[in-house]
């Protein structure tokens, strides 16, 4: 297998002490220079990043959670897509395992120099597989130590994206693969907490029901409960470049996130 040339490790990982793993597959911004040279100017700014989630979840260590964070941009390879590139939402517009366009449907590659099957395989081998191996191993360790495990897949997205959904997205989009990836009682507790917010809107299994990570690893019958949370970026940051973190709005979001994760821990411990 030909590896993909990169100088960065595929992820950063901190192991916690309690039965919770927080995965952040779309926060990475690194694009190797040789690949960036093939990108458009817009693409080199990686605008579709899940910006600032590590900062937003900066209480994770206090909770004792393990944290797995992507380093490479989703434009290099999307860690929340199946390895074979199959669509997660058949019939709807989606981006690929190795995307060729932005969320605005603009081309990533300046000269139509799209990645070959060999190049895609190299990116999968060098970045996708190590991330998922670490994720799988950590869930197995947590379950062996604690008897059960929770996986929280953390995401964010612009609140208005006509390509993917009509109108404005709710602020908190909880996804449990339509009830298949975690115990329904836990899902209900989480949406109940979300709906307590007087300013933030929320939905369970709406437009976003969970990507590959939630669907693949969530096995409630096996005591592994997986939840995806897709936040609107407007609820904690500026949605347009330079994509700045907003302390005031984030301060309203963080206590709610913490209460939900504390509820997850209460359920699995």
Instruction: Give CA torsion, residues 215, 69, 60, 103, to 10 deg.
Output: -70
Over residues 101-159, the pLDDT tens digits come to 999 999 999 988 999 999 999 999 999 999 999 999 999 999 999 999 999 999 999 99
Average pLDDT over residues 22-47: 97
Q: What are phi and psi of 151, to 5 degrees?
A: -120, 125
5 assigned to some structural domain: no
3 assigned to some structural domain: no
pLDDT-derived band at 93 (thresholds 50, 70, 90) equals: low
CA gap 94, 92 in Å, rounded: 6
pLDDT-derived band at 46 (thresholds 50, 70, 90) equals: very high
20 assigned to some structural domain: yes
Which whole-number Å values give the CA distances from 258 to 41, 210, 225, 253, in the listed order? 37, 20, 17, 9
pLDDT-derived band at 86 (thresholds 50, 70, 90) equals: confident
6 assigned to some structural domain: no
**Residue 1's pLDDT is what?**
47
Residue 39 pairs in a beta bridge with 109
Structure tokens, 92: 């709807």
Domain count across the chain: 1
CA gap 252, 28 in Å, rounded: 25
Edge-to-edge strands, sheet with 20-24: 11-14, 66-70, 20-24, 149-157, 224-232, 172-175, 202-204
SS3 content of the chain, % helix, strand, coil (to 5): 35, 20, 50
1 assigned to some structural domain: no
Average pLDDT over residues 221-235: 98
Kindly tell me if the per-residue pLDDT of 187 is higher than 70. yes
Instruction: Give CA torsion, residues 64, 66, 72, 78, to 10 deg.
Output: -120
Mean pLDDT of the chain: 95
What percent of the chain is predicted at pLDDT more than 90? 90
| CATH number, residue 114 | 3.40.630.40
91 assigned to some structural domain: yes
Among the residue ranges 20-29, 36-45, 87-96, 229-238, the one predicted with the least confidence is: 87-96
Residue in the structure block whose two tokens are 């993909």: 4
**Residue 112's pLDDT is what?**
83
77 assigned to some structural domain: yes
Give me the domain span that covers residue 239.
11-268
186 assigned to some structural domain: yes
């Amino acid at each position: 297998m030909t590896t993909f040339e990169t100088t960065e490790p595929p992820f950063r990982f901190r192991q916690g002490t309690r039965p919770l793993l927080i995965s952040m597959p779309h926060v990475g911004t690194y694009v190797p220079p040789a690949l960036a040279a093939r990108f458009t100017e817009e693409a080199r700014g990686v605008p579709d990043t899940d910006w600032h989630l590590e900062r937003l979840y900066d209480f994770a260590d206090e909770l004792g959670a393990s944290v797995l964070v992507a380093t490479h941009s989703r434009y290099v390879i999307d860690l929340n897509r199946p390895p074979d590139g199959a669509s997660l939402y058949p019939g709807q517009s989606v981006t690929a395992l190795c995307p060729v366009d932005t969320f605005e449907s603009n081309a990533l590659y300046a000269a139509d120099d799209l990645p070959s099957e060999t190049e895609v395989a190299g990116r999968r081998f060098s970045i996708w597989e190590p991330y998922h191996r670490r994720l799988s191993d950590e869930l197995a360790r947590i379950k062996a130590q604690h008897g059960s495990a929770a996986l929280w897949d953390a995401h964010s997205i612009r609140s208005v994206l006509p390509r993917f959904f009509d109108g404005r997205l709710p602020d908190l989009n909880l996804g449990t693969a339509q009830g298949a990836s975690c115990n329904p009682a836990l899902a209900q507790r989480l949406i109940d907490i979300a709906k307590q917010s007087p300013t933030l809107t929320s939905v369970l299994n709406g437009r976003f029901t969970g990507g590959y990570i939630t669907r693949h690893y969530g096995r409630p019958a096996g005591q592994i409960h997986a939840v995806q949370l897709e936040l609107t970026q407007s609820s904690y940051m500026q949605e347009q470049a330079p994509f700045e973190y907003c302390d005031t709005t984030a301060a309203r979001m963080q206590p709610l996130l913490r209460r939900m994760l504390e509820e997850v821990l209460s359920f699995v411990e």
